[in-house]
Amino acid sequence: MTTDDIRLIPASQFTIDQLTAIYNQTRVDYLVPMPMNAARLAEYVATYDVDLDHSLVAMQAGELLGVAMLGVRAGRAWVTRLGVLPNTRRTGVGRALTVGLIENATRLHLDFMMLEVIKNNTPAHQLFLSLGFHEVGELLVLRRAPLIPPPDPVIADARRLDPADALALIGRDRGTQPWTNQSESLMNVSEVSGLQMTLADNSRGWLVYQRQKFTLTRFAYKTEVGDPVTMASAFLSHLHHQFPRLDTQIENIQVRDPHLAAFFEMGYVESFRRIEMWRGSPPASLNMQFQAVS
């Protein structure tokens, strides 16, 4: 196969069902397959501001070879859902799709791009490095099973937040966040709630989360005053005491997050890791601070 006759077609020219089918075919042997149905993909597109007009499907001789999606927000773009059929990998299809997304972002005057690649997916990692992306950190995907007995809640002045109050908190500076955990991602979903807490030593912080039918997910949090581990222990103890039967799945928690020890103490386990990569530097208007990998 040569890349000369590969056609890159806007994903908006395909139905959600078609995009779901090609995406699932590209992930059948993936390190972490993460299959989707049409409803989940449509939700993904809406939640993460995926621009289907600037996302791409690769075709050759009438055959669908792969897909790559582009999230678009003010001052930045995000490469996501990149997949190539197993029998056409290492033939330039993934490179063509990624280059196409970079060119589309440039047309939108977006020079700063973000992505995450599953750790140990060496071919994809090397592809992104060759196209000018650089590592900025590692991200954890964590789960806490509902069978773990809920802890006694830490004594605190705890206030449960309705969606409006919870959404008002997530716009506050939380430092550099992966795309999935940015404020816009939570603003785009339903059933967002929160906890705002003050401890006996006047430590203060908050947690915002999404409650789905069987799952707690999409966490945003901040310690405003005090020790992050102590504060995280407090809001997690209250959260899991309130919802003892719900599974908890959260993604893209930075390995250097100062709250992280509390999650492990509360029974969270690591499912897998991603490498966070950037191309270009974030504009000053995003109020992000670059952190190089140590």
CATH code, 66? 3.40.630.30
Name the nearest CA neighbour of 140 among 272, 262, 233, 265: 272
Note the pLDDT tens digit of each residue in 238-290: 999 999 999 999 999 999 999 999 999 999 999 999 999 999 998 877 754 33
- Per the structure, the count of domains in the chain is 2
- Give the integer Cα–Cα distance in Å for 182 and 48: 9
What tokens appear for 19 in the block?
A: 């995009």
> Are both 170 and 101 inside the same structural domain?
no
Neighbours of 177 (CB within 10 A): 16
- Give the integer Cα–Cα distance in Å for 122 and 111: 25
> Are both 36 and 101 inside the same structural domain?
yes
Is 118 within a domain?
A: no
Name the nearest CA neighbour of 60 among 11, 12, 14, 7: 7
Is 288 within a domain?
A: no
> Are both 98 and 173 inside the same structural domain?
no
Q: What is the pLDDT of residue 32?
A: 79
Q: What average pLDDT does this structure show over 44-67? A: 95
- Give the full edge-to-edge strand order of the sheet including 269-279: 7-10, 56-60, 63-73, 76-84, 113-118, 269-279, 134-144, 247-254, 215-225, 204-211, 192-198, 157-161
Note the pLDDT tens digit of each residue in 197-219: 999 999 999 999 999 999 999 99
> Are both 273 and 162 inside the same structural domain?
yes
Name the nearest CA neighbour of 80 among 27, 6, 126: 27
Note the pLDDT tens digit of each residue in 134-168: 999 999 999 999 988 878 888 889 999 999 999 88
> Are both 92 and 180 inside the same structural domain?
no
> Are both 247 and 160 inside the same structural domain?
yes
Length of the chain: 294
> Are both 241 and 160 inside the same structural domain?
yes
What is the rounded average pLDDT for all residues in the chain? 91
Return the bridge partners of 115, or none.
277
CATH code, 173? 3.40.630
- Give the integer Cα–Cα distance in Å for 136 and 101: 20
> Are both 166 and 79 inside the same structural domain?
no
Is 133 within a domain?
A: no
The owner of tokens 């928690």 is 253
Is 99 within a domain?
A: yes
Looking from the CA of 32 toward its CB, the CA atoms found within 13 Å total 12
Confidence (pTM):
0.91
The residue with greater pLDDT, 41 or 87, is 41
Q: Show the domain range for 200.
A: 142-278
Return the bridge partners of 64, or none.
59
From 69-83, 229-243, 275-289, the region with the lowest mean pLDDT: 275-289
Three-state DSSP state, 70: strand
Which residue, 111, 130, 154, sits at the end of a domain? Answer: 111
Q: How many percent of the chain have pLDDT more than 90? A: 77
> Are both 98 and 147 inside the same structural domain?
no
